[in-house]
Structure 1
Amino acid sequence: MDREDGWSGIVVKKSRAMYDGANLYRKLEIKLDSGEVQDVKVKRDLWKQLEVGDRVTKDAGADPHRD
């Protein structure tokens, strides 16, 4: 997915990992309205707000947000 793309979907999984050994990355697995499943890196505040089943939207050129 390109940063300029917009999308909407449902959180199906939350995860976090230290891929480079220094930075903690937070990811959401999102089932898009189109049926496609995508992994999306998100900021800590949004990651903490969301639970599996919550709806998330990303407007073109903006960061994802909870609906």
Structure 2
Amino acid sequence: MLDNDTRSDLDCRETISAIIGAFIDIAFGRSATDLAQEAAKENIELSQTISSFHRNRTKTKEEKN
């Protein structure tokens, strides 16, 4: 398990990387709207993956009982 300092460092690096990537995308013609739509799509996909994981985990626990 990561300690708080390591987790903070990783979060900062991830955030900085995302910001730099957004600036590069905008510089090469991608609009902020396109970036926001892509982020929303990725968020939905992540939410679906997490929900699926929890459903499968619950189902597995019920089968064990």
TM-score (norm 2): 0.17
Q: Which has the higher contact order (CA 8 A, sep 6+)?
A: 1
Return the structure number with greater helix share: 2
Structure with bigger gyration radius = 2
TM-score (norm 1): 0.17
